Structure formats: structure tokens, C-alpha cells
Amino acid sequence: MAIVGAMALVLIVVVTVSANYWVWRKTHASITLESSQCVHEPVGLVFGTSYGLRGGGENPWYRARLDLAASLWKSGQVDHLLVSGDNHTRYYNEPIRMWRDLRRQQIPDAAMTLDYAGFSTFDTLARSRDVFGVSRVTLISQRWHLPRALFIAQYLGLEARGCATRKRSVFNDRWMWAREILARVQLLADLYLFDRHPYFLGPSIVLPTDAETPGNIIPVYRRVPMPAPVEHALEDLRALRKPDNDQDLKQSWHVF
């Protein structure tokens, strides 16, 4: 029994180390630790997490993700934010909470799309592809979470890069690092043994992409409509200034 137990322990250790090395090897080159160096992508995917901690107080990982998402949008490194989270009951709604807090950081509604069925990292990424039609994306999360998220994204065929939140020491996040070590083993089992599928997909939701350049998000200033009186006044002005022929066009230039 002792020999069998020792062999089983060795096997578990080998499988765990191998799985983590594989995930790290496939993804580490796609993770940027300095937010200012994150490359531009049309969509920034914000992974949901709980607002508060069980012992009380605000979840630092929640705040870090939102701060980074707001910073990337304001700097033009992403054109649109896909905010995904858990909404399994009417009393718990991660996307709405994130949406409210991003609005407090002056992110306009037109720059955000909410995904209410991001029950897990896998579901969030699968839905971003199959429901929202995302193909290129920046994943916004902590550095301990990004390897697993990027591995799933690559498995799903997404062209993804990871942008890590502000650094915290490994000691401060030690429980999350430990959790991820086991989660990466479960990840490989889900993808290659159990053929995992998202819990819920639903109808397609089209992000505001540019038809002329598919995959690119239309900038907010081109998506926010003008008030109707202003738009009508501009149309009337264009009609008045429209030249009837080339001669009128030449004369109109002399006016200005």
C-alpha cells in the first residue's frame, strides 16, 4: 500500500507540473505585465469576479481589473469593453456592478457590452466567440489567471493577448496562485478529455463593428448619435450649401 501510495503521489506531482508547464509554455509570450505596453485590439474582455471578500472589504482583484479596463479604453488601446460575469440569480449580478463602476470612471455606455452568462473563464471566452463574434481580443485580468484564460482562448481559435493588472506580490496572492496550479490541470481535462461546452449560449449579439473593416470596433464618437434637432439642422445646412453644378462649387470656395 505504501508503494502504491508513493507511486500515485509521484504521478499526481508529475501530471500537475507537466500541465502547468504546458500552459505556461503556450501562453507566457502573449502576456504583457506593463499596461502601457499592451498592444491595441478592438475588444477588451473584462473577466468578472466578486466585488467583496468573504471577510469583508472590497476585492482588490475586482478593482484592479476595472481600473485596467478603464485605462486601456481611455488610452485607445482597446476600442470596446466586453464586460462578462456571473448573473445566476437576481441578487447577484457581476456585469451590472462592473458596468456601474466603469461608468463612475467616465466610460460611456456605448463603449461597453455586458455578458450576463460568463459563469466561468471557459464560458466567458466561448461566448465571446460564439455569441459576440469576437476574433481578436485583449484579456484583462491578473497574471495568475491569464495563462489559463489565454490557453482556453487559443484552444477556441481566438487571436488573444493578455494584459495583466498592476502587480501584487506572489505572497499576497498565494492562495490564488495555488488555486490556479490545480485549475490548469482541470482545464486540460475539460478540454481534452471531457470535451467541455459552455453552460449557455443563446442568440447572437452583434458588437458595433465597422462593416468596412470587419473585426474593428467603431469608435465611440462615431456611434453616439447627435440630438435630433442638431442632426436636422445639419441636414438643412448641407442641403442649402450643396452646389447645383461645378460652377457653383467653384463659386462656393470663393465665399470662404
Q: Which helix (H) or strand (E) holds 137?
A: strand 136-141
162 contacts 29 by C-beta, under 8 angstroms:
no
pLDDT tens by residue, 97-119: 999 999 999 999 889 999 999 99
Q: Is the pLDDT of residue 250 over 50?
A: no
Q: Is the pLDDT of residue 210 over 60?
A: no
Angle subtended at Cα 119 by Cα 171 and Cα 21, rounded to the nearest 5 degrees: 45
User: Which one, of 63, 203, 46, lies nearest residue 114 by Cα?
Assistant: 46
User: Which one, of 46, 38, 136, 120, lies nearest residue 82 by Cα?
Assistant: 46
Instruction: Give SS3 for 13.
Output: helix
Name the percent of the chain lying above pLDDT 70.
81
Q: What is the DSSP letter of 244?
A: S
Q: Which three cell numbers stand for residue 235?
A: 441636414
- Supply the pLDDT for residue 167: 77
Q: What is the DSSP letter of 190?
A: H
